[in-house]
Amino acid sequence: MFGFLKDKLKKVVSSISEKLEKKETAEEREEVKPIEVVEKPVEIGMAEEVKEPVIAIEKPPLEKVKPEIEIKPEVKIGEKKIEAPKIEKIEEKPKGKKGFFKRITEKIVKKVVEKRLSAEDVEPVLNELKNGLIEADVAYEVAEKIKNDLKNSLIDKPIKRGKEKEIVIEALRNSLLGILTVPRVDLEGIIKKAKSESRPAILLFLGFNGSGKTTSIAKIARWLIDRKYTVALAAGDSWRKAAIEQLEEHGKKLGVTVIKHKYGADPAAIIYDGVEHCKSKGIDVLLSDTAGRTHVNKNLIDELKKIVRVNKPDLKVLVMDSLVGNDAVPQSQMFNEAVGIDSIMFTKNDVNPKGGAILSVSYLLKKPILFLGIGQNHSDLVKFNSSEFVEQLLAK
């Protein structure tokens, strides 16, 4: 799942890490300079002068220090006493300068331990990353943000030796988590609040034709039943042929009631009847299907607005086919502008190697991802967790 996007992220981590390692080797070679050798003549008896190589080492300046007790010995020669010359104790004291080898050692250690990347080092790699993200269905604006996040995190920042990949991965992790940081939806909290008001929680499902709304409704019904909530379904798609029968088939497998009218009936009225049924039976949640809409079908959009106005759903869930790629952004924006969406569910993620639409829609609409559909069975549903999603993308 999301293999294409994972490969693009791995590639940038590898490329930047290699640049850091090469930069480190080059800097170390540049730092280690040949030691200066000075030739000094040495006399050996009457023989010819022999030149001896001597390593030139800079010595710190010496400072004379007087001893605390001055000793003046006397020497007696015949009858005269001659005062011996004053002896002063000489102590070597560097005037605050570090020794040659200490200075060189510190410089080399710093070069080895800490490196810095310039804009020229990473710009080509980050441009490649941006293009790869766009190929993975990440919207241009979001890909540009990820690129800039990495530039800000890596350029001119000290990076310790052996930590290259770790630093790049952490920069990517922070960027991706920032993109997915949006207000969360507490689904169970919504249900408990509705119960406290002696009514069912109403979940309304929207989406384009073929996005997988009906199957997604059944999966979420299973998820809720597994958590001991009671559920009913409302067949609000009275437009598409076989839509009611499809929902009824799911209802039979799940053992839940399906509220329906005839084809062509007003979906707002169907869902209203579903709410009343749940109230009378003490059912916790009503999951309401709707007909697939397109941005060109004004009548269906107006119908959707009426459903929302009449039934006031607690949560409007936009069901998106993850395979639509970059079209996910304009589709989601259209529904959001029409009725306002509260959360998003992506379907068919098990057959989608890209996954960039998840990043794009979440960031551009500032809406939380509620679930990911990963198959055709009722149990093939994952509650979205942004941290787990990011770790999956960055996994080895």
Better-predicted residue by pLDDT, 276 or 70: 276
Determine what percent of the chain falls in helix, strand and coil, rounding each to the nearest 5.
Answer: 50, 15, 35
Domain assignment present for 54: no
Mean pLDDT of 117-134: 86
One domain, residues 202 and 168: no
φ, ψ dihedrals at 91, nearest 5°: -125, 130
Mean pLDDT of 92-96: 52
pTM score of the predicted model? 0.74
How far apart are alpha carbons 123 and 139 in whole angstroms?
A: 20
How far apart are alpha carbons 8 and 68 in whole angstroms?
A: 74
Residue 102 has pLDDT above 70, yes or no: no
One domain, residues 378 and 281: yes
One domain, residues 175 and 199: no
Given this model, what pLDDT does residue 124 score? Answer: 86
pLDDT per position as a tens digit, 287-345: 999 988 665 577 888 899 999 999 999 999 999 999 988 888 998 999 999 999 999 99
Beta-carbon contacts of residue 358 (< 8 Å; ≥ 6 apart): 322, 346, 369, 389
The single-letter DSSP state of residue 159 is E
pLDDT-based confidence at residue 352 (cuts at 50, 70, 90): confident
Given this model, what pLDDT does residue 35 score? Answer: 47
Q: Which of 341, 358, 338 is nearest to 349 (CA)?
A: 358
Q: How far is CA 3 from CA 348, 354, 362, in A?
A: 14, 6, 20
One domain, residues 289 and 381: yes
CATH code at position 302: 3.40.50.300
Amino acid letter, residue 370: L
Beta-carbon contacts of residue 337 (< 8 Å; ≥ 6 apart): none
Domain assignment present for 46: no
One domain, residues 163 and 199: no
29 alpha carbon, distance to own chain's centre = 35
Q: Beta 369-373 vs 343-347: how paired, if at all?
A: parallel
> Within a 10 A sphere around the Cβ of 113, how many other Cβ atoms?
14
Q: Are 223 and 381 in contact (CB under 8 A)?
A: yes
How far apart are alpha carbons 43 and 46 in whole angstroms?
A: 8
How far apart are alpha carbons 393 and 49 in whole angstroms?
A: 73
> Within a 10 A sphere around the Cβ of 385, how many other Cβ atoms?
13
**How many helices, marked H, and strands, marked E, lie in the chain?**
13, 14
Residue 16 has pLDDT above 90, yes or no: no
The share of the chain scoring above pLDDT 70, in percent, equals 74
How far apart are alpha carbons 170 and 231 in whole angstroms?
A: 42
Q: In the chain, how many domains are there?
A: 2
Domain assignment present for 330: yes
Given this model, what pLDDT does residue 44 score? Answer: 45
Q: What is the mean pLDDT of the chain?
A: 81
Mean pLDDT of 199-208: 96
How far apart are alpha carbons 199 and 80 in whole angstroms?
A: 126
Q: How far is CA 174 from CA 44, 65, 130, 256, in A?
A: 72, 59, 16, 43
Domain assignment present for 97: no
One domain, residues 209 and 239: yes
One domain, residues 319 and 367: yes
One domain, residues 165 and 191: no
One domain, residues 117 and 226: no
Beta-carbon contacts of residue 139 (< 8 Å; ≥ 6 apart): 326, 329, 356, 359, 360, 363, 364
Q: Are 53 and 37 in contact (CB under 8 A)?
A: yes
One domain, residues 137 and 260: no
One domain, residues 14 and 148: yes
Residue 135's domain spans which residues? 3-23+110-179
Domain assignment present for 259: yes
CATH code at position 172: 1.20.120.140
Residue 227 has pLDDT above 70, yes or no: yes
One domain, residues 279 and 358: yes
Given this model, what pLDDT does residue 326 score? Answer: 84
- Classified as helix, coil or strand, 316 is strand
- Classified as helix, coil or strand, 247 is helix
Of 151, 179, 207, which residue is a domain's last? Answer: 179
Domain assignment present for 318: yes
Domain assignment present for 55: no
pLDDT-based confidence at residue 210 (cuts at 50, 70, 90): confident
Of 162, 179, 196, which residue is a domain's last? Answer: 179
Domain assignment present for 8: yes
Of 119, 152, 179, which residue is a domain's last? Answer: 179
